[in-house]
Amino acid sequence: MSLVMTGSEVMQVLDMDLALTAAEDAFRAYGEGRVNMPPKAYLTLAHGDFRAMYGEIFLPADHICGLKWVNVHPGNPARGLLTVMAKILLNDPETGLEFADLDGTHITDFRTGAAGGTAVKYLSRPDASLLGLIGAGAQARTQVAAILKVRPIREVVVFDRHLAHSQAFADYLTATYGIQARAVSNGAEAVREMDLVVTTTPSTTPVVRREWVSPGTHLNAIGADAAGKQELDGAILTGAMVVVDDWAQASHSGEINVPLARGEFTPQQVYGSLGEIVAGKKPGRQTPEEITVFDSTGLIIQDLALGLAVFKRAKERGLGEEKDFLK
């Protein structure tokens, strides 16, 4: 039997605390070599793309494998559709039997936010309180939700290409979290003197310049998730502690992919993976002054760990519909 869950059912059990716990479990498993994870495969289309992500993970009390089929279609909002939509299947590795069929759209949002929150926990200064956002879309929401769980944020500065979007997002943050938030009209204002900077754009040209970044800043580079995408000035990377989620994916489609291809950045300049840091194999931030960067491409093990947590909580609460797809 497979538990089938819609997006609204997933949201009845999904929260950021659950996502952060699952993210740490997934990154720790990665750092300890308890995963089997080929790089994601891309299907490029005229107006977007699909990614097939699949893998296996040994969690403290569970051993599962699974698949996520997820799209990115930037023009979808004009059609009244989400840019990103996903489906997640969970399987028993011993038999191959499917036991969960989940809408993965919200899980994708939350696990990406939780990865950013985990990076901030291990790589930023503990007293980081000023957060700058470049991009004010759906992913920015879960990045902020996760970061607020791990750092004492007192002000958020928002920049988006459309000032109205920036202002709407700032208003949302104040109304939702009761924190000070303001919209600005240029990217430099959202970066200068910030303790934390999060980029969530689909840009193929840098949206953050090196001269804007202060000593001690931590940057989450979230938007670069396909070959040719780049949000950060390459000079930021060469002078920073650069941490990836996975080398194979980051070198092909993460923030480092363009500087690597141009010879502006070398593989040896990557400090390590977030999993190694979470697992205690490498230290995180070592001085208050260093600049740190997390290159997030998104890993199937994050989806599997959070998908399993959602499945277990749904079973406890009697949510979803059991289906036998073999009949």
Query: In 102-121, which positions are buried (b, 16+ CB within 10 angstroms) versus exposed (e)?
Result: bbbbbbbbbbbbbbbbbbbb
Mean of the per-residue pLDDT values of the chain: 97
DSSP string computed for 103-160: E-HHHHHHHHHHHHHHHHHHHS-TT--EEEEE--SHHHHHHHHHHHHHS---EEEEE-
What is the CA angle 285-289-295, rounded to 5? 50
Region 187-208 average pLDDT: 97
pLDDT band per the 50, 70, 90 thresholds, residue 324: very high
The predicted pLDDT at position 34 comes to 98
Query: Across the chain, which distance is largest between two alpha carbons, in Å?
Result: 62
Q: Determine the 3-state secondary structure of 217 from DSSP.
A: coil
The rounded distance, in Å, linking the Cα atoms of 153 and 237 is 25
The rounded distance, in Å, linking the Cα atoms of 230 and 268 is 19
- Does pLDDT of 252 surpass 90? yes
Residues of the chain above pLDDT 90, percent: 98
The predicted pLDDT at position 226 comes to 87
Stretch (H or E) spanning 2: strand 2-5
Hey, what domains does the chain have and what are their CATH numbers? 2-108+301-323 (3.30.1780.10), 118-298 (3.40.50.720)
Burial class (CB in 10 A: 0-12, 13-18, 19+), 8: exposed
pLDDT band per the 50, 70, 90 thresholds, residue 285: very high
Stretch (H or E) spanning 257: helix 257-261
Q: Determine the 3-state secondary structure of 83 from DSSP.
A: coil
- Write the CB contacts of 316 (distance below 8 Å, at least 6 apart in sequence): none
User: Letter for the amino acid at 169?
Assistant: F
**The pTM is what?**
0.95
Q: What is the pLDDT of residues 101-150, one digit of tens each?
A: 999 999 999 999 999 999 999 999 999 999 999 999 999 999 999 999 99
The predicted pLDDT at position 51 comes to 96
The predicted pLDDT at position 112 comes to 97
Dihedral sign computed on CA atoms, order 235, 237, 238, 240: positive
Q: What is the pLDDT of residues 62-79, one digit of tens each?
A: 999 999 999 999 999 999
Pairing between strand 35-36 and 49-58?
antiparallel
The radius of gyration of the chain from alpha carbons, rounded to an integer in Å, stands at 19
- Does pLDDT of 158 surpass 90? yes
Q: What is the pLDDT of residues 32-57, one digit of tens each?
A: 999 999 999 999 999 999 999 999 99
Q: Are 207 and 231 in contact (CB under 8 A)?
A: yes
- Does pLDDT of 208 surpass 90? yes
The rounded distance, in Å, linking the Cα atoms of 221 and 116 is 9
Stretch (H or E) spanning 167: helix 163-177
The rounded distance, in Å, linking the Cα atoms of 196 and 36 is 32
Q: Which residue has the higher pLDDT, 327 or 176?
A: 176
- Does pLDDT of 238 surpass 90? yes
The rounded distance, in Å, linking the Cα atoms of 104 and 303 is 8
The residues annotated with a catalytic role in the active site are 68
Q: Determine the 3-state secondary structure of 27 from DSSP.
A: helix
- Does pLDDT of 327 surpass 90? no
